[in-house]
Each structure stands twice: as C-alpha cells, then as structure tokens.
Structure 1
C-alpha cells in the first residue's frame, strides 16, 4: 500500500493560535458592532449580552464534538489496522472490500454523530 506522509502536525500549533486569535478578535469586536448598528439605525434593539454567552457555549460544544470525532476516528483507524492520521492511503480501491465498507461505515457513523450533536445543540 502506498502512503504519503502529511506534515499537518507540525503546523498544528500555528493553526490553533490562528483560531484563538480569530476568536479573541471577534469577541472584542462584539461591542463595536453593536454600537455601529445602533448609530446607523436607532430602531435596532440592543442585543442582550447573554447571546454572547450562548455563542461561546455553542462554539465550545462544537469544538468538543470535533475533538470527540477526531478521537473516535483515530481509534477506528487503529482497530482496522489502517495507517494513522500522519499518512494518507493513495490506493484506496486496492483495499479489500470489507476494509472499504468498514471505512465507509466509520465515516458515516462519525457524520451521523456530528449531525445528532448539532441537532442536540439546536434544541
């Protein structure tokens, strides 16, 4: 089986720093955006600060769900003996049929878990 190694783990810290920086910028821009909306249209109501807490909680839940899916997918790869996250299978069609079906089932289960998590977050 041919594999191609990814260098994604070396840049992981940079990506995390970018996400945190974006979140901080958006958090600091929240009051400025409210003031600009009130300045341009006086009929716009003041947005309750509790909404910001709900947005933060939903982001925390989303990131937790992504982490859970990442962990489940890594365990799925270990159980089936497939290469880990650091490598990418180039010839997926050369795998045995039951490996392909198991991989498809695992991806479907993760997609279903993410959908159920988003549905629960909305409710």
Structure 2
C-alpha cells in the first residue's frame, strides 16, 4: 500500500517532473539512471519515459527507469527526515542529491565560478 501511494505521489509531482525534465533537457539523463540502463541508449530511454522537450508534464516518473527516484524515496522516508516532520519535498531532496553527488555538479560549479 505504501509503495502504491509513493508511486502516485511521484507521478503527480510537478516540481519533481520539472527538475528531472530540465536535467534530461540539459543532457544529464545519465545522472538519473543506472549504468545498466545506459547501454539501452538515450533515445530509447527518453521514449519509455515519454520525454517531450517542450512539455515537462508529459514526463513519466517511472522508478524502474529513472532509478534516482528510488534513492529519493529512501532519503525521504529516512528516520531523521521523519523526526524533523518531513520538511523537504521530493524535488528538494533530488536537487540536493544531484548537486552533491552527480556529474551535473561540475557544470553547476563552472557556471557559478566555483571551479
């Protein structure tokens, strides 16, 4: 039941859709998936998640493909986050995760003059 509720939340989360859409649009799809899925090719993966360059609302947040969603679920339901009263939304956690641990971080640092 909990898993079903989480999937419903994920598929209707506009801010998370916008963030992930922007990542894909800026060629950071590989930060959102596992190495195993990379071998399938970007275009096939984009088609499976219904990626439309012009409309983030069409993006399907499928946790079997966009495996970063599984990491978000784990972090969101962590005991510390729960004790704090769940102050962060999924898209907040995703932004932090992307900034701290993915290849797009290098681009962020170049843009803001940190490297």
TM exceeding 0.5 = no
Name which one, 1 or 2, has greater alpha-carbon Rg.
Answer: 1
Instruction: Name the TM tier (shorter chain).
Output: under 0.3
* Higher helix content, 1 or 2: 1
TM-score of the pair, normalised by structure 2: 0.28
Tell me: higher relative CO, structure 1 or 2? Use CA pairs within 8 A at least 6 residues apart.
Answer: 1
